[in-house]
Chains A and B, each alone.
Chain A
C-alpha cells in the first residue's frame, strides 16, 4: 500500500494471557478459540463425531469419567455415567462403537472413580468430592471398597475377600513321607484374580511317620470367583500347644492344591517340614475388604491406593504382583498430615511420588515392607488433585523423562521437582482465573502421536497445548476449545484416538 507500512504476522504461537492484553507479543493471540496448529498454519479445530453407533447400541449419557482400558488383545473404554437426579453412578465397559457391557458396577454417590489396569483386569475405586470447610476434598466413598472387573462383561466384584468357613477332617493316608508330630493345618482360597485369602479352618493333627495325610470336608466357597484352594501347614509344633492356632507360622504345602471350588477332599499328601518354604502367615494381616480411595496407581508391580473416606491421609500399598494383597500392618505409607488429603500418586524414575493439592513427597522402595519406606518432602506448596497428572495411552502416567502436572500455579513439568517457568506460563492469567475449589474437575492427558496435551478445565471446556515445536514454556501453543455441551473427561485410546465424555447440562 502506498505510503503505508505493514506488519506481517506469519508465526502463530497461540493464546497469550498474562495480564494486560496490550502486552501480547506479535506472534501470539490476545484472544482465540477453536483453533489448531499444524506447522505454521493455524486452522479450525478438529470436529467431533459420535463414538457409539446409534443403530447398534443405546448411547450412554451423563458421562463423568472415561479411561482407556487395555485388555489383553485390544484397547477399550471404561466409562462412568452419573445420574444427578438419582445420585447413582454406573460403570460400563465399552468395547467398540457397536458393543458395550454393563452396567458392571452401580453405586450410589459415585460421581467419579479411580482406575488402574492390571493384567487385563480393571481395578476400580469409587470416590467423590466432599466439602471440608471452604475446600473440596476427594476421597473414597463411605463404606465402599476397591472392586475388580475381569473385562468379560461380568459384574465387578469386591477385591480381596474373606477366608473359607467350615471344618476339615484330617486322617492318616497311604504310605508316605511326613515328619511325625503335631502340626497345624488350614486352607487358603484363591480367586480368579489370584487373590489368596487368610488361612481358615485351622486344625491340628499328629502326623504319623511313614504315613501321608488325607484331608476331607475341605470347605468350599459360595463365591464363584474362587477357583482354587490350597492346604497350608506349620512345621512340627513344640509342646505345649498354643491354643491360638493363628500364632503359628503357616506355609503352603507343595502340591497340596485343589484346582476347583467343588472337590472336598485331597488325599495322600506327603511332605517334610523342610519342604515348607512359601510363607502363608502374612495373609492373616491382609485386608479382606480394601477401602475405596480417590486415586490408584502402580509402583514396582504394587497397587497404590490413597485417600479413604475415614482417613484421607492414608496410602495403601499392596504386595508385589498381588494388587489385592494389602497388609493392614505393613502395607501403609507413613506421612505427616498437613490438613489436605493425599490426592494423587505416580511412579517416576523408580520413585513413587505422592501428592496432595499443595505438596509433594517421595517414597523409594527399599525392598522391605512399605511401612518402612521413608517419606521425603519434595515440594511444600505444589501438588495436584486426582486426574491432575497427565495420562498417556495406557492409563498410566508419565512418558520416560517427565510428569506433566496441573498445580494451582499452572501446568508444570515435573522431573523430580517442578520446573519453572511452568508450561502454562503464557496463559497464566487464564489459569489463575479458574475457581480453585473446582480444580478437582481438571483432567489432563497427552496424545504423544498428535503432539497435544489436552486439559479439561474447571469450566468444562478443553484447553489444548500443541507441543509440535517442543515441550517447553516458550514453544508450546495453547488454544481453548469450546463445545456446545460441557466436557467432563477425556481419554486417549488405540494409539492416538481422542475420546471425550460429555455431561448433560
Chain B
C-alpha cells in the first residue's frame, strides 16, 4: 500500500438499532438485521499528483433480545451457576462490508480496503470473561482511467460467543465462585445478544487532473443458531465412596441418609464413564433408596479419573448430574484362565511384585431378581416374608423391591450351611402393589445353591389413600 500525505474524508454514520425482539428462541431461525450506511464525496477540484486518501466508515449495533423459559426443568432451583455461554452464528448470507471507489481522471489508480469488525456488546459486561471477535479485511486495487475498485468480505458460518465464568469471580461479585439460581433468574431473565459491527472503507488514489469519485459501503447481518448454555452444579445428597480404588478391588458405593418424601433424588441409573448401569444390570450388587453398590465394568477401568454421574428423578429436577470423580489405579490381571466348577473364588495373577504370584478375589456378587409378584387386580399387597430352600456357605442376602426400585426392604440374612435340613423363613413387612425379591451374596468364598423360593403375600387394600 503506498504511503504519502493524506487528506482524509471522513464519512461516519453510526447506526444503532435495538430489536427486533424475539419471543421464543426456537422460532428465531434467520435474523436479518440490515442497516446500511453510505457516503459520497465529490471533489472535482482535486488535482493530486500524489496519493489521496478517502475514508468512509460505518458502525452499527444490533440487539436481539430473546425470552427464555425459566428453566426449572433444566436447571434446578438449588443449582449453583458456574458458567454461562451465549453464542450465535452468522448465516450463509454473510456480514458484508463493501466499498467502491470510482475515480475519474487520467492516469489514476485506486486502492480500496474494506474492514469488518464484529464483536459482542453484551449486557452485564463487567462479568464477561471471554469473547471472540471477527475481523476481516479485504482489499482491491486497480489502475488506469476510469478506475473502479471494490472490496467485500464475507465471514459466513462463523460463530460469535461470549462467556461468563463465575468461578473466576469476575468484577469481585462472585466470591463463592458461582451465581445463585435466584440471581440467575433476575440477571438473565432474557437472553440478550448485542452485536456491534464496524465497516470501514479506505481508498487511496492518485493521478493528475480532475478527480471525482464516491465511496459507499454497507453492512448487513444475518444470524441464527442462537444458544445459551448454563453450567451449574448441585450439592447432591448422595456421597460417592471410595474416591480411589486399586484393582482388583472394583466396588463403589453411593449412600445417603433416608430421604424426606417427596424424594428429590431417586436414582434411576448410574453412569460410569460412558456405561449406563441400571438396577437389574449384572454390575449391581444392591440398589436401595439409601445405598447403591456396584462393580466397575471392566470396559470402564483405566488409570486415572473417571466421572461418575447419576440420573435422578425428583420434584424439582430430573436428569443427569455429576456425583463425583473416581480415581482408578489398574492392575495387570490379564492372562490365561480356566473355569473350575469346584472353586468358590476367582484366582487371579498378581503382578504387583516379582515374581508373579496369585491372589484370591470374590466372584462378583452373584444374584438373581425374581419376577414381580402381584395379584391380577394390582391391589396393594402385604408381603410378609420369604422361605428359601438353600444350601451353601456364607451369608445369603435378600431384598424386597418394588417396581423401579422405588421402595425396598432388606430382610435378615440367612447363614447357609452345606448340609441343611431347614428351609428358613425370613420375616418382612413390605407393602406395595408389586414386589420382587433380590437374592445375592457379596463376600469372598460365599456360594449358594437355591432350590426353591416362596414369597408370602396378602391383599391389603384395593388402592392407596387419595
Contacts and interface: CB of A to CB of B under 8 A. Distances in A.
B312 interface: no
A47 B346 contact: yes
Given A28-B371, A59-B349, A498-B338, A49 B343 contact: yes
Given A21-B280, A32-B369, A48-B346, A505 B301 contact: yes
B282 A461 contact: yes
A36 B302 CA distance: 30
Nearest to A497: B338
A32 B280 CA distance: 7
B211 to A, nearest CB: 61
Contacts of B344: 44, 47
B2 interface: no
A500 B298 CA distance: 15
Interface string A1-24: 101111111101000000001101
A29 interface: yes
Interface stretch (A61-69, A279-287, A344-352): A61-69
A351 to B, nearest CB: 34
Interface string B362-377: 0111111111110000
A459 interface: yes
Categorize the interface residue count of chain A: 35 or more
Given A22-B434, A46-B341, A51 B368 contact: no
A398 to B, nearest CB: 23
B337 A43 contact: no
Interface residues of B, number: 74
B366 A46 contact: no
B458 A5 contact: yes
Residue of A35, A45, A499 most packed against chain B (CB within 10 A): A45
A41 B449 contact: yes
A291 interface: no
Contacts of A33: 282-283, 364-368
A500 B335 CA distance: 8
Contact of A59 (B336, B436, B441, B447): B336
Interface stretch (A206-214, A399-407, A477-485): A477-485
Contacts of A51: 335-338
Contacts of A62: 334
Contacts of B247: 484-485, 505
Contacts of B275: 459
Contacts of A27: 371
A24 B372 CA distance: 8
A497 to B, nearest CB: 6
Nearest to B362: A484
Interface stretch (B11-19, B124-132, B190-198, B352-360): B352-360
Contact of A22 (B295, B361, B403, B447): B403
A78 to B, nearest CB: 11
Interface in B413-466: 434, 436, 438, 441, 446-458
Interface string A477-496: 00010111111000000000
B27 interface: no
A484 B248 contact: yes
Contacts of A72: none
Contacts of A30: 280, 369-372, 436
A50 B452 contact: no
A44 B361 contact: no
A41 B389 CA distance: 10
B412 interface: no
Contacts of A504: 330, 332-334
Interface string B390-404: 001000000000010
B450 A6 contact: no
A47 B337 CA distance: 10
Interface in B7-64: none
Contacts of A50: 335-338, 347-349, 358
Given A480-B282, A482-B283, A502-B337, A7 B454 contact: yes
Interface in B96-114: none
A29 B453 CA distance: 12
A58 B356 contact: yes
Contacts of B282: 31-34, 461, 480, 482
Given A34-B364, A44-B363, A49-B347, 5 more contacts: A28-B371, A31-B284, A48-B343, A485-B298, A502-B335
27 contacts: A1-B385, A1-B458, A6-B454, A9-B371, A12-B368, A12-B450, A30-B436, A31-B284, A34-B282, A42-B368, A43-B448, A49-B337, A50-B337, A54-B355, A54-B357, A54-B358, A61-B334, A79-B336, A460-B299, A482-B297, A483-B346, A486-B301, A500-B336, A500-B338, A502-B335, A505-B298, A505-B333
Interface of B: 247-248, 250, 275, 279-284, 295, 297-299, 301-302, 330, 332-349, 351, 355-358, 361, 363-373, 382, 384-385, 392, 403, 434, 436, 438, 441, 446-458
